[in-house]
Amino acid sequence: MSAQQNLPHKHLTQDQVKDIDENIEWAKINADVLRSMENPRRGYWVAMFISVALFSIMIYAEVHQYIYGMGDAALNTSHMWDLYISTFVFWIGMSHSGTLLSAILHLVHADWRKPIYRFAEAMTTFSLLTAGIFPVIHLGRVWNFYWVMPYMSDRGLWPNFRSPLIWDAFAITAYLTSSVLFLYIGMIPDLAICRDNAKGWRKKLYTWLSLGWRGDDAQWRNFRFTYLMIACLLIPLAVSVHSIVSMDFSMSIMPGWHVTTFPPYFVAGALYSGCAAIITLFILLRYFFKFEHFMTMPILDKVCKLTFVIAMVWTYLNLVEFASVWYGHDIPSKEVLLAKASGPYSPFFWAMMFFGSVLPFALLSQWIRRNMYVLFFVSVFLNVGMWLERWMIVTPTLSLGYHPQAFNVMWPGWVEWAMVGGSFGWFGMLFLVFVKVFPSVSMYEVKEMVYHRKRTVYEDVDEMMNLHSGVPGPGPGPLPGSPPTPAPQSTGGI
């Protein structure tokens, strides 16, 4: 029986069923990834121009706010947060994507993560760098940003360690440091490959960053142990970061915020938005860098299914929050919930519910999961829903506080919208620079994935031959032309 007859669906080709083609040569993996780092094409410069333009508008808006005050951002006594903190929570959520793919899936040995985890880790780092802008902007007096750090001033004053904002500073600093370390250590073998194939300033940079990597047995063992330890550290750290961010709200007594389910609800929302962003970047990198051999449709299919599962968990926690408010005895919180569903912000609330809880069911369609154009827009709208969810947490509550003087509807001004748009420009600039300076696909892990897939095929063939002959074989040996160890020990030219 042919391999094509064994496929689960007749309309799928063999390449659409396998995670990766085991016949890819290692030299081709190097060549394809290194080619993506060469001179940018026109599409790259268009994306960079848009990102720089958005970031420039953000700089202009910040200078305007600095000169004329926070009032021009439509902020007042009751609405002191709004889009700034909403977008801060959104970017913190986006940062959980790298932890999910790199750390959790690494510990459970889900090797389909290998071709895509590198750009997810980069997205984690750049999302944290973007999120850190908004608390500083929100201060108004941006030159006093260091006041949140625990240092002894000349007046003997310390920050209020009971404030969740101080917890944010500690958690985000620790998470950013660990994420950068995790990203860098995972790139060391690939930086050695870049070093062996680069010239000029790139060779000097990669030589310095690769730390003398030779690829011998001792280095691989130390590398594996270090990478595993950081992965184990990052998982509880990532959960604690977004749990602490949720305490910015749940530790207060404002209606709709004093909810005990906020920590798991925020973590689920963070994983949700991160997975949706991974789908978006997956499609863009696959299309523009021609990574079809590495970023295959079966891997994208798994990411879509994972996104759907997390979306259902987020929807469940959302309904739990609504039920706890509706059947509780907190009348102000119930009024805030009713105002979300029927008040001035109701169109955005129902848009959030549709994009966040209804649209994910489109991922159950195999046709949508295999249609790159439709899936791209689905993933974008999923994150639109998650951004609306953060906005619906903050603004309706501030519009209906306990005091009547706080009862007012607030609509963001151009300054706030410029800051939000500029944050996407800042993130785009960082990501575009990264993919041209560093490999966005892990070359050594893709080689491992190809090797193990090929070894599995040879073992299956050997077992079938033994069964047909009736003579037990000596067991699978090394593959023809392959190294004696499963991990690639060479750094370049393979």
Show contacts of 330-339: CB within 8 Å, 24+ apart.
330/255, 330/258, 332/255, 332/256, 332/400, 332/402, 333/255, 333/256, 333/258, 335/255, 335/400, 336/255, 336/256, 336/396, 336/397, 336/400, 337/256, 339/396, 339/399, 339/400
Confidence at residue 381, expressed as pLDDT on a 0 to 100 scale:
96
Confidence at residue 10, expressed as pLDDT on a 0 to 100 scale:
42
Confidence at residue 316, expressed as pLDDT on a 0 to 100 scale:
94
Residue pair 255/393 in contact (Cβ under 8 Å)? The answer is no
Q: Which has more confidence, 428 or 235?
A: 428
How far apart (Å, rounded) are the C-alpha atoms in residues 247 and 258? 9
Residue 140: domain span? 41-149+160-441
pLDDT tens profile 226-238: 999 988 888 888 8
Handedness of CA 377, 381, 383, 387 (dihedral sign): positive
How far apart (Å, rounded) are the C-alpha atoms in residues 79 and 410? 7
Which of the four pLDDT bands, split at 50, 70 and 90, describes residue 246?
confident
Which of the four pLDDT bands, split at 50, 70 and 90, describes residue 96?
confident
Q: Is the pLDDT of residue 106 over 80?
A: yes
Residues 16-43, mean pLDDT to the nearest whole number: 83
Q: Which has more confidence, 96 or 48?
A: 48
Residue pair 8/366 in contact (Cβ under 8 Å)? The answer is no
> Quick one: CA torsion of 132, 137, 141, 143, rounded to 10 degrees?
40
Q: Is residue 435, in this structure, part of any structural domain at all?
A: yes
Give the distance, in angstroms, between the CA of residue 374 and the centroid of all CA atoms in the same chain: 21
Which of the four pLDDT bands, split at 50, 70 and 90, describes residue 491?
very low
Q: Is residue 177, in this structure, part of any structural domain at all?
A: yes
pLDDT tens profile 355-375: 999 999 999 999 999 999 999
Q: Is the pLDDT of residue 437 over 90?
A: yes
Q: Is residue 185, in this structure, part of any structural domain at all?
A: yes
Residues 38-65, mean pLDDT to the nearest whole number: 91
How far apart (Å, rounded) are the C-alpha atoms in residues 179 and 433? 18
Residue 61 CB burial class (10 angstroms; 0-12, 13-18, ≥19): buried
Q: Which two tokens stand for residue 3?
A: 């391999």
Which of the four pLDDT bands, split at 50, 70 and 90, describes residue 467?
low
Q: Is the pLDDT of residue 27 over 90?
A: no
Among 29-38, 153-162, 293-302, 392-401, whose mean pLDDT is lowest?
A: 153-162
* Among 343, 484, 313, residue whose Cα is nearest residue 408: 343
Q: Is the pLDDT of residue 2 over 50?
A: no
Confidence at residue 487, expressed as pLDDT on a 0 to 100 scale:
46
Backbone phi and psi for residue 214, each to the nearest 5 degrees, phi listed first: -115, -20
Confidence at residue 243, expressed as pLDDT on a 0 to 100 scale:
85
- For residue 422, which amino acid is it? G
Q: Is the pLDDT of residue 335 over 60?
A: yes
Residues 256-276, mean pLDDT to the nearest whole number: 88
Q: Is residue 483, in this structure, part of any structural domain at all?
A: no
Q: Is residue 20, in this structure, part of any structural domain at all?
A: no
Q: Is residue 462, in this structure, part of any structural domain at all?
A: no
How far apart (Å, rounded) are the C-alpha atoms in residues 458 and 292? 24
Q: Is residue 481, in this structure, part of any structural domain at all?
A: no
Max CA distance (Å), the chain? 88
Question: What is the rounded average pLDDT for all residues in the chain?
Answer: 83
Residue 224: helix, strand or coil by DSSP? helix
What is the percent of the chain where pLDDT is above 90?
A: 33
Residues 210-236, mean pLDDT to the nearest whole number: 90
Residues 15-30, mean pLDDT to the nearest whole number: 77
CATH number where 423 lies: 1.20.1630.10
Give the distance, in angstroms, between the CA of residue 8 and the centroid of all CA atoms in the same chain: 32
Q: Is residue 487, in this structure, part of any structural domain at all?
A: no
- Split into its structural domains, the chain has a count of 1
Among 152-156, 175-179, 358-362, whose mean pLDDT is lowest?
A: 152-156
Residues 75-82, mean pLDDT to the nearest whole number: 72
How far apart (Å, rounded) are the C-alpha atoms in residues 207 and 188? 10
Q: Is the pLDDT of residue 79 over 90?
A: no
Show contacts of 169-172: CB within 8 Å, 24+ apart.
171/237, 171/240, 171/241, 171/244, 171/245, 172/92, 172/128, 172/131, 172/132, 172/241
Handedness of CA 417, 419, 423, 429 (dihedral sign): positive
How far apart (Å, rounded) are the C-alpha atoms in residues 205 and 192? 11
